[in-house]
Structure 1
C-alpha cells in the first residue's frame, strides 16, 4: 500500500489528537487491515519492530539522536540504525502465553499500547507494574511476589523488543549508563517535523501560484522543490 504526502499529513494530524501512548499506533493504522484498533493490540515489541521498518521506509534507516550524560551533562551525538535495532521474532505475535507456578498454569498476554495508555498518569513505578500485571495476567494478582516476578520476567523474555535500552558511555567523563530509546516518540517527532516543513512549502507555493493544498501535495517532492527554488530565488 502506497500512501501519498497528503495521506501522511492527515495521518500525523490525526495522531496528535490521541493520548501519547497511542500516537505511534496511528502511524501504523493506515498500513494495517484492522486500522487503529489492530495497531493498538500489537504487543509492544511487534509494534516497535513495525515502527522501525516504517521509519526506514519513510526517512531511511539512520536514526540520529542527541543524549545528555547523566553525570556531567555532556551532549553526545549518536546515530542508530533501524535494521540493527530490530530483534528477530515470529511474524505473528502470540495471543496467549503461560508459566507454571507450583503446578498451576498461569496465563498472560504481552503488554500493548492500550496498557501504556491506561498507565500513562501513574507516577509510582511499583504501582504501575502492579496494574500492568493485573491487566495482562489477572490470575497473578493473588499470587506471592516471587510468582509475580517470574511472570514479569517471562513477559520481558517473550518480547525483548518492547524496551530498547542503549548501552552508552560518555567520552568526557567515562560515565556508563542505559538509555531507553522509544521509536514511537522518535518517529512521531520525525513525521511532525516533516509535516511542518511540508506545510511551509504549501504556504509558499499557494501564495506564489494560487494553487490549492491538494494540487501542491500532488506534485512530486522533486517538482515541489524546483518550484520552491524559483519562488525563493
Structure 2
C-alpha cells in the first residue's frame, strides 16, 4: 500500500472552498455582505501571500458559523454544494483520486480549510480520510466559535498527518511511496517530507520551487503533466 495525500483548494478543485463559502454567505444575505466580503477578501489575500495567521482566521471563520444552529448550517451547506462545489468538480480530478483508491493506496485530503466546509467535499471525492481544522462543538453539535487543537496549515499539516498515521500504527516511513499533491508554497513543508511531491496547478512560488527541486508539475485542470 502506498500513501496519497491531496490538498483541496486549487488542487482538486479549481476554486478556494473557504473563500467561496464566504461569498455564498454574502450572496445569500446570511451575513452583512459589505463588511464580511471585505474581511473575507483580506484573509484570502493573506493566505495567497503566505502571511495568514491561521489561528486568528479560523477564530473568525468559526465565529461566523457559531451564529447559526447546526440544522440551519447543514442546510446552508447542502445549498452551497449544489450551487458552488459540484459544478466546479472536474473529471480529471475525480479520475486522479480514483486512480489511487483503485490501486489500494491509503488516501487522505489534507487541507487548511475547516472540517465543516470540507467534509462534504471529501465525501464527494469518495475519500474517507480528511485532515482539516476542527471546530469545537457543544453538546448539541453546534459550533462554538473556538478552534480545537492546532491549525492544519503549513508545518501543521505534518503534525496532523503524522498524528493521523500514528493512530493507525503507521509512519510516513512505512510507505514505499508517499505522494502529496498541492498547488501552494504553504505546503512545501509536507511536500518535502514525502517521496513523491507533485506540484499540482502550482502558483508561481511553488512552481519556481518545484522546478528548482526537479519535482513533477501537474496541470490537473488542463489534464496533462509537464
- Using structure 1 for the length normalisation, give the TM-score: 0.27
Greater Cα radius of gyration, structure 1 or 2: 1
Of Structure 1 and Structure 2, the greater helix share is in: 1
- Using structure 2 for the length normalisation, give the TM-score: 0.27
